[in-house]
Structure 1
Amino acid sequence: MKRLTGWLRGGLAATMLVATLAEADTTLINASSNINQDLFQEYNAAFVRYWRGKTGEAVTIKQTHAQSTNQVARIRNGEEADVVTLAVSLDIDTIASAGLMPTDWQGRLANHSSPFTSTVVFLVRRGNPRQIKDWNDLVRWGINVVTSNPKSSGIARWGHLAAYGYALRQPGGNDTTAKLFLKRLYGNNRVLEYTARGATTAFTKNKIGDVMVTWESEAMQVVAAAPDEYEIVVPSMSIVAEPPVAMVDKMVDKRGTRKLADAYLHYLYSPEAQEMLVKYNYRPADPALAEKYAKRFKPLTLFRVDEVFGSWQSAFKAHFTDGGVLDQVYDPYRNAS
């Protein structure tokens, strides 16, 4: 009887182990930024269908959303995530610096591990009553600019660097003139929202400001929801915003999800997924689809972070650390008045 009981216990333990392993093999965790919540909800459903059709396996995608910087802190502190889909490559570099993935992670997927891109544009009220046409108009006296805080918001960092790069590339432009331009720009801002969505709420629901600086995808979403209230102004020059994706190697090896995580990220480059990305107003990585939807996205002069700032690491150190350019040009006391 004791032998039978021991056998039953052993069998039960083995069954529980198999069940645990099976769950690990069929559950994927994606830690994403707030701005892409709707996108990945639809993408996850599409990937589940794709994976079942290809392998016959059912898979569950667990999705978490937060500010990119918050996601990084959680993962570094041990929170589980098989893949990350964030706003800025520097955030993933920070995860890599903790030994959770290779430091050359960005070379593992096409287009610097960015399956889609956006850029920084201006959202104005319908009819453009303040006649905002380019970056120079944002520093005119009396213009009220809405944006989020580059200290906490990845999208705001893209906007900050876009403005600086524009000023730097003007005739006679240099670091001094670019800083002065930013000082005037932030001088026209009365509050920096903590999140990009917070900035959108301030501009659309609270009716604060004349113009909002944001991603093209976010601006297009607002206009689609309220075409009689808002319109988009595309500046003459802006930055290529490259939201990165990556696999967290240490976590996928621990959970046994490497194959699934790899497939999940590669599927973002598939024609079906690229079409979906266009639906959410992102510029696709697929050249054929980019040509197909060329009229949807207005052309403009674009520059990449590494072309102007060397790298995201260099840009962050110079602009967003304590005492950096942002602290030099933004006066929270003056702007709160």
Structure 2
Amino acid sequence: MSIISRRLSSRFLSGALTLAVSGVISLAGSAAFADDEVEITNVSYDPTRELYKAYNQVFTDYYKKAKGITVNVTQSHGGSGKQALEVANGLEADVVTLALEGDVDAVQKAGLIKKDYVKDFPLDSSPYTSTIVFLVRSGNPKNIKDWDDLVRDDVKIVTPNPKTSGGARWNYLAAWSFFEDAGQSEQQIIESIRKLYSNVVVLDSGARGSTTSFVENKQGDVLISWENEAFLSIAEYPGQYEIVVPSKSILCQPTVAIVDEVVDQRGTRQVAKDYLDYLYSDDAQRVEAKWYYRPSNEKILKEFSSASDSNVIKQIPEDGKWIITNVKLTNIAHFGGWKKTIEKHFANGALFDSIYEKK
């Protein structure tokens, strides 16, 4: 079984705790400390498995040297919306590192996180960013270049479900913004989005599941993908896939937070804070870039930025400069923030439900 097969098949563990550093998983309610050892749990979203496997090792090495404390980190991964619901319903997490602020809000509304959590860490508690791209098969047989190609009758799409996946919500909003920029009225945009989803052949619950459907199961002509997922795929299958960066996309801001209720019960607040703080360190920012997330540190971002004018990527650049900057990015503020966006587009009975039911 290939590395990516093992990596992608791990989607079946969504919502289950998988150990990232230690050989023992802590049980809910167990003591967090044993002398100079501490256990914390990070509940994250689908495509961060590789990132946090690498980051946890860097952080635990740093913490052992700096403070003499051994930190054992457990990980849980799945669709971001589903993960937020799991934490709200009792899945023990010292920290959450989810796909968007709106999902962390769901945990906050459950009374587990304080209201002003976005002020706890720099840049609205978003240590790294991403964007949305297209992954197509080698040679781009359907000649897919931009969002308007996804509404053609001959194109079959793979994308996750916005009801359970944070990445899927970014996908939807990026498409909406493109059609808006094209001068369409809101009703025309709705019709374009409806046509796009009528072309979806697989609507998985999370981003990693969608990658499995496209890469492993060979379904669809195009995967609407997190940038890092697309790069991992072309790295694992050289010559079989290409990345197409659309002319308009969205600045995706994954959000991190301390789960106050849990850390106060377990006595892990300080190490949880240090764990999230360290995501902004130079060492961690380079780890994030290595796993194809965009560093929030502008200096380090430039270290990985490409000088190429092409929006088609066929292989991992040998110089490591993979970040394409010649793309127009909207952001969640354009839509009025996550509260308004969820109410209008993703809540039960909101626009996505009406679009998908009538596709």
Describe the SS at the equivalent of 2:265: helix
Deviation at 1:70, TM superposition (A): 2.9
Residues 1:269 and 2:280 are matched in the alignment: yes
Q: Does 1:297 align with 2:323?
A: yes
Note closer, same or farther for the CA distance 1:22–1:143 as it changes in structure 2 (3 Å cut). Answer: closer
**Which of 79, 86, 104 lines up with 2:116 in the alignment?**
104
Residue 306 in structure 1 maps to residue 333 in structure 2: yes
Alignment pair present for 1:124 and 2:130: no
Q: TM-score, normalised by structure 2?
A: 0.83
Return the letter of the residue paired with 2:247. S
SS of the aligned residue for 1:75 comes to helix
Q: How does 1:70-149 map to 2 (within 5 A)?
A: 70-149=82-161
The corresponding residue for 1:164 is: 176
Indicate the residue corresponding to 1:238 in structure 2.
249
Deviation at 1:328, TM superposition (A): 2.1
Aligned to 2:189: 178
SS in 1 for 2:108: helix
How far off is 1:276 after superposition?
A: 0.5
Match of residue 210 from structure 1: 221
Residues 132-155 of structure 1, C-alpha deviations (whole Å, 9 max, x = no match): 111111112211111111111111
- CA deviation string 1:43-65 (max 9, x = no partner): 11111110011111222112222
The answer to whether the Cα contact below 8 Å between 2:85 and 2:106 also exists between their aligned partners in 1 is no
Larger Rg: 1
**Which string of whole-angstrom CA distances, capped at 9 and with x for unpartnered residues, describes residues 198-224 of structure 1?**
211111122111111011111111011
Task: Give distance in 1, aligned partners of 2:139 and 2:348.
Answer: 39
Structure-2 separation of matches of 1:325 and 1:233: 28
Structure holding more helix per residue:
1
Report the aligned-residue RMSD: 1.7
Question: Does 1:317 find its partner at 2:343?
Answer: yes
Deviations 1:80-111 (A, max 9, x none): 21111111211111111122222111122112
Q: Does 2:220 correspond to 1:220?
A: no
- The residue number in structure 1 matching 2:69 is 57
What is the TM-score when the length of structure 1 is the normalising length? 0.89
SS of residue in 2 equivalent to 1:152: coil
Question: 3-state DSSP class of the match of 1:306?
Answer: helix
3-state SS of paired residue (1:66): coil
Indicate the residue corresponding to 1:330 in structure 2. Answer: 356
Aligned mates of 2:293, 2:116 — CA distance in 1: 25
Q: Hey, what does 1:251 align to over in structure 2? A: 262
Separation (CA, whole Å) in 1 of partners of 2:70 and 2:217: 44
Q: Distance in 2 between matches of 1:212 and 1:151?
A: 18
Q: Does the residue aligned with 1:29 lie in a helix, a strand or coil?
A: strand
How many Å apart are 1:21 and its aligned residue?
6.5
Partners of 2:128 and 2:293 within 8 A in 1 = yes
CA shift, 1:291, in A, is: 1.1
- Give me the whole-angstrom Cα distance separating, in 1, the residues matched to 2:143 and 2:31: 60
| Cα gap change, 1:194 to 1:98, in 2 (>3 Å) | closer
| Counterpart code for 2:332 | V
Instruction: Find the aligned partners of 1:321 and 1:20 in 2 and give their Cα distance.
Output: 38
- What is the distance in 2 between the residues matched to 1:191 and 1:62? 30
Q: Distance in 1 between matches of 2:64 and 2:122?
A: 25
Gaps of 5+ in 2: 1-29, 307-321
Give, in angstroms, the shift of residue 72 of structure 1. 2.1
Q: Could you tell me how far apart the structure 1 residues matched to 2:66 and 2:277 are?
A: 14
1:1-40 equivalent positions in 2, closer than 5 A: 20=31, 22-23=33-34, 26-40=38-52
| Cα shift at 1:20 | 4.4
Partner of 1:201: 212
Q: Is the 8 A contact 2:247 2:328 kept in 1?
A: yes
**DSSP 3-state at the match of 1:52:** helix
Question: For the residues of structure 2 that align with 1:21 and 1:189, how far apart are their CA atoms?
Answer: 45
Segments of 4+ moved more than 6 angstroms: none
Question: What secondary structure does 1:62 align onto?
Answer: strand
Moved more, 311-320 or 24-33: 24-33
Percent identity (aligned): 41
- Secondary structure of the residue aligned to 1:268 is helix
- Rounded to whole Å, the distance in 1 between the matches of 2:66 and 2:255 is 26
